Amino acid sequence: MRRARRRGPCARSHRASVRASHRRVGQHWFALKAEAFARFFGTPAFLLSRTLIVAVWIALNVCGIAHFDAYPFVLLNLAFSLQSAYAAPLILLSQTRQADRDKALADADARHREALALASQRRGKALADKALAHQAAQMQELLTQNTELTELTRELTEQIARLTQDVHEKLTREKHPKSSASNALHRKSEPFEPDGAPAQDAQAPVPE
């Protein structure tokens, strides 16, 4: 399964760091050939081909078909020694270059992780600032709505107070005319008594 391709500026910077690390290790033709030979020395093809060459070499000299290296095969031992003498430095050179490449890749990965951490920190800070701004806007809106509700409550209270006062005044005006009318009727029903005349409370005695 193929790995998902990285995107974004961090991914581009990471690929640039990897390419820079490869350039830092070096692209000399001798080093590249040495690495290619060192990789070939560890393959099954090299082992099988060398085994086949050694078998043919020994068979030709033992069977008498050729006499360029009779027993004990000194020339073959010299070839093996020469190959070992060159193979060891090539393998060491390949390992050194691989170690340098691994170090450069590790440095590039470390820088990439630092860039990702910094980008994540900036993104988190931006999100936090955005959330704080949103909360502040909500708080301001709530305060505005609270102020409007307070003003509306005050206006309603004043209207209720005026209506109550108007109803009270209306009831008072309706009650006063009725009291004046009842007082006038009461005065008309009382007998007229002139000033200075004694009021006759009891009935005069009847003569016998």
What confidence tens digit (pLDDT) does each residue in 127-173 have?
Answer: 888 898 988 988 988 989 899 889 889 889 988 988 888 888 888 88
Q: Is residue 43 part of a domain?
A: yes
Q: What share of the chain in percent tops pLDDT 90? A: 4
Q: Is residue 83 part of a domain?
A: yes
In angstroms, the Cα distances linking 119 to 7, 12, 133, 179 are 14, 14, 21, 89
Q: Which of 1-10, 65-74, 75-84 has the lowest mean pLDDT?
A: 1-10
CA distance 91 to 80: 16
Q: Which two tokens stand for residue 196?
A: 């200075």
Give the number of domains in the chain: 1
* Whether pLDDT at 55 is above 80: yes
* Whether pLDDT at 89 is above 70: yes
pLDDT band at 202 (very low <50, low <70, confident <90, very high): very low
Q: What is the pLDDT of residue 52?
A: 93
Q: Is residue 47 part of a domain?
A: yes
Nearest to 118 by CA among 19, 20, 13, 17: 13
Q: Is residue 191 part of a domain?
A: no
pTM passes above 0.75: no
Name the DSSP class of 202: S
Q: What is the pLDDT of residue 96?
A: 85
Q: Is residue 203 part of a domain?
A: no
Residue span of the structural domain in which 103 resides: 9-137
* Whether pLDDT at 5 is above 70: no
* DSSP line for 101-120: HHHHHHHHHHHHHHHHHHHH
* pLDDT tens per residue, range 56-78: 988 888 888 878 878 888 888 99
Q: Is residue 57 part of a domain?
A: yes
Nearest to 62 by CA among 70, 50, 54: 70
* Other CB atoms within 10 Å distance of the CB of residue 21: 19
Q: Is residue 33 part of a domain?
A: yes
CA distance 35 to 95: 8
